[in-house]
Amino acid sequence: MPPAPSPDVATLAQALHLPPLVAQLLITRGYGELEAARTYLRPRMDQLHDPALFLGMAPAVDRLARAIRDGETVLVHGDYDVDGICSSTIMVKVIRYLGGRAVPFLPHRMTDGYDLSDAGVDAAVREGARLVLTCDCGTSAHEAIARLSSLGIDTIVSDHHLPSRPVPACVAVLNPRQPGCEYPDKDLCAAGVAFKLSLALVRALGGNENVVLRHLDLVALATVADVAPLRGENRILVRYGLRMMPETAHPGLRALIEAAGLATTALTAGRIGFVLAPRLNAAGRVGHAIRGVELLMSTDVGECNRIARELEELNRTRQEIDRETLEQARRMADALDLDTTYGVVLGREGWHPGVIGIVASRLVEDLARPVMMVAVDGGVGKGSGRSTPRFDLHAGLTACADLLVRYGGHRAAAGITIDPGRLPAFAERFNAVARERLTPEDLVPELRVDIKLSTADVTDDLERLLRHFEPFGIGNPAPVLAVTGARVVGGPRTVGQNGLKFRLAAPTGSLEALGWGMADRIHEVGDGAVVDVAFKLERDAWQGESRLVARVLDVHQAG
């Protein structure tokens, strides 16, 4: 007989009409108070904060409204990733809906570089713009903004990256992370900031807010793709955006979903992040990101399908470059002494700057350490880094600022520009900073179990209730469940390239268990073995059949 639930668990379970297991999980997640639990389980749009709380929102709206009324051209300058593509698309469409003239511009990764730079200034002059609105960039673009000002062109910055120095002088900076901004939620991505600006602008000009709300699917796509924490406002925006996505009003997004093979599949944050987002990202990584904006702006179904197919090809090219770069980087990492290397810096001539961020993410998974990858070309090093939850990457780079030409980003991901001659000094300093701020225990991957249960508890009802905890991602990971002393029934087998499949005995039959990358553990799950298993519970649909699957994270024989 299972132990009786604690008074707190019992009280919460009774108040919310939930099984004690689910109430225990809420408490484990920090939602033990009744109202906090209700808000978490039932996020609502009316829980979003007022856009007016942003520092700089009033002057930004005033200047944009004047540009719209006076027929001025607004250059909307984005970044070349999914967040930049989506935030730029949102702002262009909203400004045009309000009667303004908006022209999108996204830099080319290979020729224009990152952020608002001379390429963006030249584009503003070419288009006759009197106002530049940045999306997902601009917080550190002091020189370019000063040049725009000297040309009589105003600038509004909308961004979410941590400032590495005082923000530039311009009409307004909308960035929840800037000093002095009292906006409560600091985790918005650039598309979230664009959504807030759009709402404020439409309200000021008496437009229909539903026009802005129809872009929540793009906000959700960008939030997931940018690995923003799925808590607070992001949780609400992604929850509602995912609901809208299957019936999206954007033909380009629909074409992208169909091309990715997701048209008949439930669109979860995981599928968005690992299947859909990389295809849109491929435009900026190995092509030109403006194609992503053209896809999301288009209302021509034929054109949308053509661009979606083009992005499919670019994504395949990106995957091939990924594989080659990852193999090279892993060989370089194998030569490191990981007992003394806490922060990894790898640089090489010929690496494609569009894929090194993805490769850095893979190496972080391999090494459980922060990783900076630097692509060297023409005497310039362009770097992209990813980090573990225990290490603040932006703060680490700040400690190396004197060795860098420029840097920017946030806690989990960042980019740099560096003189290749300074790479050895940077590698030494970055590692020293990591050694100061990390312990050996921080470098060991940790599997945190949310709750222990029996196979009898693993039911369709439990899986259905756990959907209320979605969307899952950084800041709100999928619950990790564990069963101990479970018996393997039926011989295990390998599947795919390196997967392991077996079944666990359950009162109503058996539970399918599947662990990717675990084929070498097959000897631990022989028929009749008694095992402890940590897993995520998912529903899998295959050939018209829907079934529960335990996605195995770790398994070992019960001791």
pLDDT digits 0-9 by tens, 197-241 = 999 999 999 999 999 999 999 999 999 999 899 999 999 999 999
Please count the residues of the chain.
Answer: 559
Annotated domain spans of the chain: 1-41, 51-309, 336-443, 447-557
**Closest to 349 in 3D by CA, of 289, 421, 449, 291:** 421
Encode burial over 209-232: b for 16+ CB neighbours within 10 A, e otherwise.
eebbbbbbbbbbbbbbbbbbbbbb
For 343-372, how does the pLDDT look when each residue is reduced to its tens digit (9 = 90+)? 999 999 999 988 999 999 999 999 999 999
> Is residue 374 left, alpha or beta, with left meaning phi > 0 and alpha meaning psi from -120 to 50?
beta
Confidence of residue 112 (pLDDT cuts 50, 70, 90): confident
Mean pLDDT (whole number) for 57-84: 97
Asked if pLDDT for residue 243 goes beyond 50, the answer is yes
E strand spans, 312-425: 344-349, 371-377, 380-386, 406-409, 413-418
336-443 with 447-557: one CATH topology?
no
pLDDT of residue 34: 93
Domain 447-557 -> CATH class: mainly beta
Which pairs with CB-CB distance under 8 Å and at least 24 residues apart come from 465-469? 465/18, 465/19, 465/22, 466/22, 466/25, 466/537, 468/41, 468/42, 469/25, 469/29, 469/40, 469/41
pTM for this model (two decimals)? 0.89
Asked if pLDDT for residue 316 goes beyond 90, the answer is yes
Confidence of residue 1 (pLDDT cuts 50, 70, 90): very low
Torsion, CA 242, CA 476, CA 485, CA 507, rounded to 10: -30
Confidence of residue 4 (pLDDT cuts 50, 70, 90): low
pLDDT of residue 47: 95
Mean pLDDT (whole number) for 20-45: 93
Q: What is the average pLDDT value for the chain, to the nearest integer? A: 93
Architecture, CATH, for domain 336-443: Roll (3.10)
Alpha carbons 188 and 182: distance in angstroms, whole number: 13
For 414-471, how does the pLDDT look when each residue is reduced to its tens digit (9 = 90+)? 999 999 999 999 999 999 999 999 999 999 877 889 999 999 999 999 999 999 999 9
* Residue with more model confidence, 522 or 65: 65
* Residue with more model confidence, 54 or 28: 54
DSSP sequence for 21-38: HHHHHHHHTT--SHHHHH
Alpha carbons 250 and 301: distance in angstroms, whole number: 10
**Closest to 88 in 3D by CA, of 228, 226, 294:** 294
Asked if pLDDT for residue 6 goes beyond 80, the answer is no
Asked if pLDDT for residue 154 goes beyond 90, the answer is yes
Asked if pLDDT for residue 189 goes beyond 60, the answer is yes
pLDDT of residue 3: 54
Confidence of residue 543 (pLDDT cuts 50, 70, 90): low
Mean pLDDT (whole number) for 34-63: 96
Phi, psi of 534 (to 5 degrees): -105, 135
Confidence of residue 542 (pLDDT cuts 50, 70, 90): low
Look up residue 169 and give its DSSP letter: P
Is omega for the bond preceding 471 within 30 degrees of 0, making it cis? yes
Confidence of residue 36 (pLDDT cuts 50, 70, 90): very high
CATH topology of domain 51-309: inorganic pyrophosphatase (n-terminal core) (3.90.1640)
